[in-house]
Each structure stands twice: as structure tokens, then as C-alpha cells.
Amino acid sequence: MTHFRLPMLPASDEVPWSSRVNNVDFSSSIESNAILLDILRDKVGSLGTKRGCDMGTCGCCTVLIDGIPKLSCLTLAKEVNGSEITTVEGLADGHHLHPIQETFAEYGGSQCGFCTPGFLVVISALLDENPSPSDEEIKTAIEGNLCRCTGYQQILDSVRAASNIVVNAINTDDSTSAKSDPHPGFND
């Protein structure tokens, strides 16, 4: 017996799409119903944008669209055609990490790392808008992002430290420069 699988929905139309992603112009033909998360991962190659829940509840897929944090799993790509999109890969300035990227590593804001891109994007937007946020403002900004590893205290510590860097215009090291050994005494 031969089985035929008929699609319940007609095939989507292809539409032209172009945006500026992490300061690089990108153009492609996309399906008219494609979500931004899939375009960023599969066409642009931004694998830092994570697929978490696909329901808008975890925040892993957060990107900046024209400077505003948005969930890429709930955004139709064609709705942001022509927009400026920043993913976690676009936060660094050359070899200089964004202050929140640097402090997340230093203060343990990242444990398993899966939720980290969403947190970094949301917090970078917060610090751009308000370089000295209170703890309540930090909590409000990250309330749409879930982390199952840290308990959030390290994330708050990371944001406070990043705020200090931003407010006091502290120069950060080139991220490619040599670092001290994280395991002193174990090289013998």
C-alpha cells in the first residue's frame, strides 16, 4: 500500500529579505512564514541565538531589533525586514568584549551557558538605556529570561560589575590577550 502525505497548509511563498545583522548587510530569499530565529541560525549563521522553548517563555533567543530586545522565536522574519539586528555575537567591539560579556565570565553569571546569550543581549540593552540600574530594574529587565543553574545572584553581581565598568569608563582588556592561568599550581 502506498501512503501519501498531503500538507495541511499550502507551501509558503518565498520573499526577499534583507537586514543589517551585527553590522553586516545580509540578504536572502526566505519563506514568508519563517521565524527570525530560524533565519538567524540557518541562513545568517548566528548560532549564538539559541532555540529554547519556541513559545516565548525562556528568553534564550532574545536579539536586539533596532536596539529593542525581542524574542526571535516569536518574530516573523519578514516583519523585521530592513531592521538593524544584533545577536550575542554582535555585542563585542572587535576584540573587546561588551562589559556584560566580560563580567558574566568573571562573576559566574554563566553556568551551563545555554541561557547566556539571551541574558547578555537583554542586559546590554538595559545598560545602554540605564548605565546604573538598581537591583529592581535589573530584575525587571531579566524577568523574561530563565536560568536553571545560577540562582540569579551571580547574574545580578555580573550586571552590577558591568555597570561599574560602563559608568566609570573602565577600559577592558583585549579579549585575545593572554590571561592568567585559571588553575594555578596544577601545571607541575
Separation between Cα atoms, residue 32 and residue 12, nearest integer Å: 6
Provide the pLDDT for residue 12: 72
**The model's pTM:** 0.85
Q: Which residues pair with 164 in a beta bridge?
A: none
The domain segmentation of the chain, as residue ranges, is 15-90, 99-167
CATH code, 99-167: 1.10.150.120
- Write out pLDDT tens, residues 37-51: 999 999 999 999 999
Provide the pLDDT for residue 188: 47
Kindly state the cell numbers that stand for 72.
Answer: 526571535
- Write out pLDDT tens, residues 79-131: 999 999 999 999 998 888 999 999 998 898 888 889 999 999 999 999 999 99
User: Which class is domain 15-90?
Assistant: alpha beta
